[in-house]
Structure 1
Amino acid sequence: MSAELHLSHLHKRFGGLVAVKDVSFSLARGEVVGLLGPNGSGKTTVMNMISGALPCDGGSVKVGTTDITKMKPHRVAKHGVARTFQLVRPLPTLTVGENVMLSLAFGKKRHWGREARDLAEEKLAFVGLEGRGDEQVGNLTYIDQKRMEMARALASEPDILLLDEWLAGLNPSELSIGIELVRHLQGQGITVLLVEHIMEAVRALCSRCIVMSAGEVIAEGPSAEVLARPAVIKAYLGDDHA
Structure 2
Amino acid sequence: MSKPLEIMNLHKRFGGLVAVKDVSFKLQPGEVVGLLGPNGSGKTTVLNMISGALPCDGGTVRIGGTDITMMKPHKVAKHGVARTFQLVRPLPTLSVAENVQLSLAFGKKRHWGREARALAEEKLAFVGLEGRGDERVGNLTYIDQKRMEMARALASEPDLLLLDEWLAGLNPSELRIGIDLVQNLQGQGMTVLLVEHIMEAVRALCSRCIVMSAGEKIAEGPSAEVLQEPAVIKAYLGDDHA
Does TM, scored on the shorter chain, surpass 0.5?
yes
Alignment root-mean-square deviation, CA:
0.9
Aligned to 2:12: 12
Aligned to 2:165: 165
Aligned to 2:72: 72
Aligned to 1:41: 41
Deviations, residues 81-111 of structure 1 (Å, cap 9, x unaligned):
0000000000000000000000001100000
Separation in 2, partners of 1:45, 1:196 = 14
Aligned to 1:113: 113
Please say if 1:223 is aligned against 2:223.
yes
TM-score normalised according to structure 2 size? 0.99
Which ranges of structure 2 fall in alignment gaps of 5 or more residues?
Answer: none
Aligned to 1:122: 122
Deviation at 1:58, TM superposition (A): 0.3
Please say if 1:30 is aligned against 2:30.
yes
Deviation at 1:113, TM superposition (A): 0.5
Deviations, residues 146-193 of structure 1 (Å, cap 9, x unaligned):
000000000000010000000000000000000000011111111000
Deviation at 1:36, TM superposition (A): 0.1
SS in structure 1 at match of 2:163: strand
Separation in 2, partners of 1:65, 1:207 = 23
TM-score normalised according to structure 1 size? 0.99
Aligned to 1:178: 178
Decide whether the 8 Å contact of 2:37 with 2:213 is kept in 1. yes
Deviation at 1:233, TM superposition (A): 0.3
Decide whether the 8 Å contact of 1:38 with 1:213 is kept in 2. yes
Deviations, residues 127-154 of structure 1 (Å, cap 9, x unaligned):
0000000000000000000000000000
- Deviating 4+ runs (over 6 angstroms): none
Aligned residues: 241
Aligned to 1:101: 101
Decide whether the 8 Å contact of 1:3 with 1:26 is kept in 2. no
Aligned to 1:203: 203
Decide whether the 8 Å contact of 1:22 with 1:216 is kept in 2. yes
Deviation at 1:3, TM superposition (A): 6.8
CA spacing shift, 1:120–1:3, aligned 2, 3 Å = closer
Decide whether the 8 Å contact of 2:3 with 2:191 is kept in 1. no
Deviation at 1:210, TM superposition (A): 0.1
Deviation at 1:64, TM superposition (A): 1.2
Please say if 1:92 is aligned against 2:92.
yes
Identity %: 88
CA spacing shift, 1:116–1:169, aligned 2, 3 Å = same
